[in-house]
Copies of this chain bind each other. A is one copy, B any other.
Amino acid sequence: MKHLIGIKDLSENEILSILELGETYREKLINDRNNIPQILKDKVIANLFFEPSTRTRMSFEIASSLLGAKVINFSENVSSIQKGETRLDTLKTIEAMKVDAVVIRSSISGLPYILARDLKDVSIINAGDGSHEHPSQALLDALTLKLKFGNLNRIKLSIVGDILFSRVARSNIILMKKLGNNNIMVFGPSTLIPREIETFGVKIAKSFEEVIEFSDVIMLLRIQTERQNSAYVPSTREYKKFWGLTEDKLRSINKDIFIMHPGPVNREVEISSNIIYCDNSLILDQVTSGVAVRMSILTHILSSTLKF
């Protein structure tokens, strides 16, 4: 693996290998911190976030640091972007500084592909590109589910929200299909559900009741007002009523349903406040798996000593 651009590019074996090492790192992260191997101690990793982010940037930064890498942050507002340089020029410059990997988030769908094509030495790690992919998110979600359910190919997973523009939904669906999981259901405002998704074997729910009945796990998506044409999006009040998860909806049926959300949560929109951290919520578990899976990703991409 030289880059991580999208789940689309990964084989089933590569996915499973990332999850396996991620599980090992998760254990060390929680219980055996001083036995994390400093395998990236000669590596330089640059974080380039062209969109605001807390969790993804911090998660990558912690993952990098714990493996001993030198981390350089780059944020738009104190940079040469102000001076009119193109993204490619910026990346070529960073490559020429002998940076080993760039973790990049951008609103431009496909930017990481273009960069990976035009750069020759530096590894590109996509931390979310427009409405295209967010591969490390899908991998951390998979690790979270694997730890909870043991295997991934029979979990009944519903994804609720903006399926059309969500890179999280996209990457998760591709990953699940790659692992042979055919139990994926989506639900959301009809303007935000791509009809052709059914041709990939993904079910489209007609009501939240159908979602509840079907699911082992409900993955709520964040309303991404910053990336959407507001014409597609209902008011937050309407959104909560029809597509938000509430305690009432959750208890309408007598079974254990687990809740996921990539964060940050819009309280009282996608989910009501009182169930964000309930016993069946995997939301914080996802965050912990995030650091571990990113340690695994970085190791797969940057460590020459790791053998497969």
Contact of A94 among B34, B58, B265 (CB under 8 A): B58
Docked pose: A307 CA to B277 CA in angstroms: 36
B288 touches A83 (CB 8 A): no
CB contact list, A97-121 vs B, under 8 A? 97-99
A263 touching B93, Cβ below 8 Å = yes
In the complex, which residue of chain B has the Cβ closest to the Cβ of A43? B33
Q: Are A65 and B70 in contact (CB under 8 A)?
A: yes
Of A73-81, A183-191, A210-218, the stretch lying at the interface with chain B is A73-81
- Tell me the bound Cα distance from A253 to B212 in angstroms: 75
User: Do A98 and B264 contact each other (CB < 8 Å), given the known contacts A44-B62, A62-B44, A66-B70?
Assistant: no
Distance, CA A263 to CA B80, complexed state (A) = 9
Near B by CB (< 8 A), chain A positions 21-70 give: 29-30, 33-34, 36, 41-44, 46, 49, 52-55, 57-59, 61-62, 65-66, 70
**Counting CB contacts under 8 A, is A85 at the interface?**
yes
Q: Are B42 and A92 closer than 8 Å at their CB atoms?
A: no
CB of A287 within 8 Å of the partner chain? yes
Chain B residues closer than 8 Å to A265, beta-carbon distance:
85, 89
Given contacts A70-B62, A74-B54, contact A287 B96 (CB under 8 A): yes
Q: How many chain A residues have a CB neighbour from B under 8 Å? A: 62
Q: Is A264 a contact of B34 with CB atoms below 8 Å?
A: no
Across-interface contacts of A65 in B (CB, < 8 A): 44, 70, 72
Q: How far does the Cβ of A291 sit from chain B's closest Cβ, in whole Å?
A: 5
Q: List 16 A-B contacts (CB under 8 A).
A: A29-B98, A46-B58, A49-B78, A52-B82, A54-B81, A55-B97, A65-B72, A75-B78, A77-B78, A83-B222, A83-B226, A84-B264, A89-B267, A97-B288, A97-B290, A98-B288
- Shortest Cβ-Cβ A-B pairs, 10 listed: A96-B287, A85-B264, A54-B80, A65-B70, A96-B284, A80-B264, A33-B42, A34-B42, A54-B79, A96-B288
